[in-house]
Amino acid sequence: MISDTLKKRLVKDRPMTSITLRIPVDVVESMKLIAPYKGFSGYQALLKSYIGEGLRNDEALMASNKEAKLIAALKKLGVSDSLIEQATREAA
């Protein structure tokens, strides 16, 4: 099942904003060299890819951390392991 957050990210015409980001010149030069080898038209697209990848990884970690905290709280309240496992399967 695709999350609502991911569904929103798949929309092509979603609102955009411009930001200013200070990056060392040597890093930008490296990204310019690497971008074509990774199939990107330029370093900005590569940078967006790096940001998106890191963001997805962090969001996955946060989601699993929330799930672990919820499971621990349910166990503390006396909910059985079998009931937690059943609910986890149904939610997936």
CB 46 within 8 A of CB 38: yes
Distance CA 69, CA 59 (A): 15
List per-residue pLDDT tens for the chain, 92 residues long.
Answer: 566 766 777 778 888 899 999 999 999 999 999 999 999 999 999 999 999 999 988 888 888 888 888 888 898 999 998 998 888 888 87
Sign (positive or negative) of CA dihedral 74, 76, 80, 82? positive
Q: Report the predicted TM-score, pTM, of the whole model to 2 decimal places.
A: 0.63
